[in-house]
Amino acid sequence: MDALTKPGDTVGALTLRDVGGEPVALDDLLERPLAVPLVRYYGCMPCRDFLIQLEAARPTLEAAGVGVVGVGGAADYQARHLMDHGVGFPLLLDPDHALYEALDVRRIHWWMLLWPRTWWNYLRAARRARQGRITAHPLQAPGFVILDTDRTVRLLYRGRTLGDYPPITDIVAAATGLGRTAE
């Protein structure tokens, strides 16, 4: 069995899509380190909530020299809606889940839907976001990564259940530390 991707590992070159369907090479995005939330799908209520929180932290991340780009499944209309209504960073599509696979962000077990933390994530998200249409596998795990300019993984978080993302404070701390070393 292969070892899971971990911080310090490098992901291979891959291509994502913008909401217009045009290819976007990951390398073209990495002019600076990049914070990348991997959402289950852009209609997922806790995922939308996380994107809203990340948007609020974006000025701090950018001041640390770290850009932000979201990655989700294939629902271009949901990504476009979020970008038109408050998410100021690009939301890209990964219909083949190539980045998810490269980072070993897989599906959760169905019984995790019964876990109290899953329900808490949805209740907490209801303050800022609404559920959209399910457009991807309902058990796709969320994730988060900070990639350096050479595709080296600097921070990797694999969600254990729906809506399980790292605290924004941890992301800002990692970005700030990376920004200092990148200068």
pLDDT at site 117: 73
Residue pair 112/160 in contact (Cβ under 8 Å)? The answer is yes
pLDDT at site 183: 39
Give the rounded distance of the alpha carbon of 69 from its chain centre: 8
Nearest to 79 by CA among 19, 33, 23: 19
Top mean-pLDDT range of 11-20, 40-49, 68-77: 11-20
pLDDT at site 178: 75
pLDDT band at 9 (very low <50, low <70, confident <90, very high): very high
Q: What is the pLDDT of residues 127-183, one digit of tens each?
A: 666 555 555 566 677 899 999 999 999 999 998 888 889 999 999 999 988 754 433
Helix then strand then coil, in percent of the chain rounded to 5, is: 35, 20, 45
Nearest to 13 by CA among 30, 4, 29, 25: 25
Give the count of beta carbons closer than 10 Å to the beta carbon of residue 25. Answer: 11
pLDDT at site 43: 82
Domain boundaries, the chain: 15-182
Residue 29, CB half-sphere, CA atoms under 13 Å: how many?
27
Q: What is the pLDDT of residues 25-63, one digit of tens each?
A: 999 999 999 999 999 878 877 888 899 999 999 999 999
pLDDT at site 126: 63
The listed CATH number (3.40.30.10, 1.25.10.10, 3.40.50.11540, 3.30.1280.10) that belongs to domain 15-182: 3.40.30.10
pLDDT at site 182: 39
pLDDT band at 1 (very low <50, low <70, confident <90, very high): very low
